[in-house]
């Protein structure tokens, strides 16, 4: 997913991301008059039924860093898990409620772990000579 500002690039002096494909729905979060944003999902890698639980970042995690950020953002905004499962994880909670809830629950827990511990694996420690 990406966030497209509601104003023009000329107004804010920054570059807008490319538009999402037409088949992907967009939604507005917040009041457009107050700087709300249009959220458009981008095609993401497949999401596993459960997030990894290893005590280090996996290749699966590395491919889904943006997804983890979206999960944290949605949790901060107290978004309904069903909305998050559908828009972020691309799992329909109406058709697969148990899978959707478990995927949301474990991926959110993994996102929180990355925020507290896993981020250390994103940056290699400096070596001393």
pLDDT digits (tens, 9 = 90+) for 64-87: 888 999 899 999 999 999 999 998
Instruction: Provide the H-helix boundaries in the chain.
Output: 9-12, 59-63, 65-76, 81-87, 97-116
What's the rounded Cα separation, in Å, for the pair 40 and 1?
A: 6
**Which carries the bigger pLDDT value, residue 80 or residue 9?**
80
Structure token pair of residue 21: 């494909």
Q: In this model, does residue 106 exceed pLDDT 90?
A: yes
What's the rounded Cα separation, in Å, for the pair 72 and 58?
A: 19
pLDDT of amino acid 109 = 98
- Secondary structure of residue 27 in the 3-state scheme: strand
12 pLDDT band (50/70/90 cuts)? very low
Phi and psi, residue 100, nearest 5°: -60, -45
pLDDT digits (tens, 9 = 90+) for 33-59: 666 555 555 555 689 999 999 999 999
């Amino acid at each position: 997913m990406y966030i497209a500002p509601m104003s023009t690039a000329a107004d804010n002096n920054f570059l807008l991301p490319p538009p999402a494909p037409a088949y992907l729905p967009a939604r507005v979060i917040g009041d457009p008059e107050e700087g709300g944003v249009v959220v458009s999902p981008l095609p993401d890698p497949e999401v596993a039924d459960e997030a990894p639980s290893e005590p280090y970042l996996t290749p699966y995690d590395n491919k889904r860093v943006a997804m983890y950020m979206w999960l944290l953002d949605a949790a901060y905004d107290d978004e309904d898990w069903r909305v998050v499962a559908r828009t972020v994880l691309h799992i329909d909670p109406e058709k697969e409620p148990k899978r959707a809830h478990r995927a949301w629950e474990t991926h959110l827990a993994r996102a929180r772990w990355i925020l507290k511990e896993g981020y250390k694996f994103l940056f290699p420690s400096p070596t001393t000579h």
